[in-house]
Structure 1
Amino acid sequence: MSTAGLQGSLFDEVTDEPSCADLAPIVTRRTLTDGAWVDVAPGWVAGAAQLHERLTDDVPWRAERRAMYDRVVDVPRLLCQYGEGVALPHPLLVTMRDALSEHYRGELPEGFATAGLCLYRDGSDSVAWHGDTIGRGSTEDTMVAIVSLGAPRPLMLRPRGGGASLKFFVAQGDLLVMGGSCQRTWEHAIPKVTGVGQRISVQFRPTGVW
């Protein structure tokens, strides 16, 4: 799959091998309502364009179909899931998972265990409003850490039950972490947009959250 024409983060760097920075100096937190919060670390991954290219080529992407109301529809993105203990497709993903686990140890003692990857082929691929409430996320505070690679896309958040939405633009190499009650009390989405290229989302989660 071609990744030509991608616009990188202003923080992205040319480097021999992709790497991730120390999180502590670059993470900022936005407190939401009902015990939810969002952390953002722009440009956390240096050499993100190289990592994006590698994952595009090396991950065994698959298309899925899901039941929706009275019909079965194509999922508007390609997917690949890596469960607990499964080898990840690039060593930097292991480094990122371990760095996230260490940084959030005080709030998430068990650390991150799984990785879900989504490939948005262009701006017509999307994710509808939802929360990761299958499993523990339906009753417990938890975390979902998202690393964005490729074309910038808006990530939307809104309170469950109504209220003003928030928009975060996640670009090449950016990290966004949803924590606290966010999966239960807020919803998030990646809306369709026009005129953008390919994006990969890497989502790290604790055991039993999806």
Structure 2
Amino acid sequence: MLSLQGSLFDAVDAPAAVWRPLDTARRTPLSAGAWVDHLPGWLAGGPEGADGLFERLSTDVPWRAERRQMYDREVDVPRLLAFYGEDAQLPHALLVEARSALSTHYRPELGEGFRTAGLCLYRDGSDSVAWHGDRIGRGRSADTMVAILSLGETRRLMLRPEPGVPGSTRAFALGHGDLVVMGGSSQRTWQHAVPKSSTPCGPRISVQFRPRGVL
């Protein structure tokens, strides 16, 4: 079982799960119509919040390892994965709350709600995800959003523009309970990655909420 060191404050006085208001997220405009919203500590810690959610997901989710073709050979995907489609029951009530809150807040801008949830488990600093955009489906040709709830160890989310798109590389440190939303044209005009960590670090779970037809 993976373990997470909660804060001493949470251990002494563990509050019920608290979501910070989504309208307090800070938006960073990128270029070519792309933007990123960042809300540190969207979900509070404690056993009824981010700490408890991390522990439950680490043990209850049917994590799977995958292999992918890389040039002329098959390689292990450097993280564990799980996916919950539109009709699947999410593995924790807090994820239902999160998806509902995101849908309510972003629907006026997105034009629809979030429908699916993809989960990644980064077991340690050697797990990562390479540069890419979520372009399978509608993200290839239309503006969309991907909302990510980060749990566990702080890791860097890096963004860089596609060749020919103005802009420079950006970095967001995603900590325990943080939210980041990539919106506008970001999936087709920018790439994102979670690089390997050069220093030892503990596990992290990323929960990615997406609209229908965006992968």
Q: TM-score, normalised by structure 2?
A: 0.91
Residues of 2 paired with 1:38 and 1:125: CA distance? 23
1:54 aligns with 2:56: yes
Q: 1:16 to 1:7 in 2, by over 3 A?
A: closer
Q: How many pairs were matched up?
A: 206
1:76 aligns with 2:75: no
Q: Contact 1:7–1:152 at 8 Å: present in 2 too?
A: no
Q: TM-score, normalised by structure 1?
A: 0.93
**Superposed CA RMSD:** 1.9
Q: Contact 2:6–2:51 at 8 Å: present in 1 too?
A: no
Counterpart position of 1:45: 43
**Higher helix share goes to which structure?**
2
Counterpart of 1:168, as a letter, is F
Residues of 2 paired with 1:143 and 1:82: CA distance? 17
Residue number among 182, 201, 207 corresponding to 2:206 in the alignment = 201
Q: Contact 1:78–1:120 at 8 Å: present in 2 too?
A: yes
Residues of 2 paired with 1:69 and 1:19: CA distance? 46
Deviation at 1:16, TM superposition (A): 4.9
Residues of 1 paired with 2:6 and 2:196: CA distance? 17
Q: Contact 2:25–2:38 at 8 Å: present in 1 too?
A: yes
Counterpart position of 1:21: 20
Q: 1:95 to 1:52 in 2, by over 3 A?
A: same
Residue number among 188, 193, 196 corresponding to 2:192 in the alignment = 188
Residue number among 116, 129, 135 corresponding to 1:114 in the alignment = 116
Residue number among 30, 33, 38 corresponding to 2:31 in the alignment = 33
Q: 1:60 to 1:117 in 2, by over 3 A?
A: same
Counterpart position of 2:174: 170
Counterpart position of 1:154: 156
Residues of 2 paired with 1:7 and 1:179: CA distance? 31
Structure 1 unaligned segments of length 5 or more: list them. Answer: none
